[in-house]
Each structure stands twice: as structure tokens, then as C-alpha cells.
Structure 1
Amino acid sequence: MRAVFKLPAVTTKLLPSLGGRRNPRAARRARKPMQENWVKASRGRWLKCTYGKCGFEWEYFGGHSWAECPTCHTTSKVAVALRNFRQNASFRQNASE
């Protein structure tokens, strides 16, 4: 791609990125050093079964939006089961006291 207008030679010597011979500033920026390859620990989510008669609590390590209860095999959305677990957290604290 050719420039439509020509810059004076003084400008291109002072600002070489405008002359087109040098990479733009964004391409020349200093790169962040590479991080070491740490083993990523899987983050589990505590879920509670949404089936009224079950109510089993388990830690879910899957990366999907649907989870299956290990005891009653009810399939439920992870976000709903997570919300169900959080809502019953106060109930668990009161029961333990």
C-alpha cells in the first residue's frame, strides 16, 4: 500500500514509524516474559441437587453447564445447582450450631 502523501525527509528521520520503514509502536512493544508452565489445579464447585427428595451436595469438576447428581442421576443446570447450594448455606450453618 502506497502513501497518498509524501512526508518531508526531516519528519521521517525524526519519526521513522511514520515513514513506513519501521514497525509501528504497538508491534515493537516489550513483551511480557513467558511464565513457567505451572500445573493448573482444577477448581471444583460445590453443588446441591435440585431434586426435592434428594438434596445431595457434591463437588463438581466438569467444565460443562449441565451436571448430573451422582446419587439420583438428576440432570440440572450448574448455575441453578450452585445457587441452590448457596441459598442453603445459611441453613447448614444454623443446623451445625
Structure 2
Amino acid sequence: MAKRNNENISISDALKEFVETNKLERGLNRINVADAWKDMMGNGVNNYTTAISLKGDTLYVQLSSSVLREELSYGKEKIISMLNENLGKELVKTLILR
């Protein structure tokens, strides 16, 4: 059982400590990236998105439309910068559209 501190700390600090202690940051990053993709791209792209996965610093997005995949490939750098800005940290360095 974890040792109890008698200090008063904020809930955000307690949650950060909990995430670090239990090594949950990688899983939270995966969820946050998928949510950011859905928020940024809107319904038009999300209807054709079949899978989103983050492995290391590479984001893999599987699309069911080859036309959309080709169209998005022209703006990869902009998509990466928008995702990182939305997430508030440099998480995605490479985008692979499948």
C-alpha cells in the first residue's frame, strides 16, 4: 500500500503523481492522440478512419478511402503540427497513412 503524505496537494498534482507512479502516460498518450485526431479532422475524415494507433513517436492511421489517404498525404507536416499543438506537447513526429 502506498505511503500517505500528510501534506495538502492539489488534485492535478495527485493525478500526475499517480500516472507517473503507475506508468500510465504511454496509454494516456494513445487515447489523447486518437481523441485529438477525431476532434481535428471532423466527421468527413472520421467516417473513413478505421484505426488509429500510436507506436513510439509514429502515428498510424488506417483509412478506408484511397482518395482521402492521397489527399491527406499532401498535408502530413501540417497535420502533425496541428496534432502536437492540440496535445500541448511534441508527441507525434511521423504520420503514416494506410
With normalisation by structure 2, the TM-score equals 0.25
Specify the structure having the higher radius of gyration (Cα): 1
With normalisation by structure 1, the TM-score equals 0.25
Question: Relative contact order: is structure 1 or structure 2 higher (C-alpha 8 Å, sep ≥ 6)?
Answer: 2
Higher helix share: 2
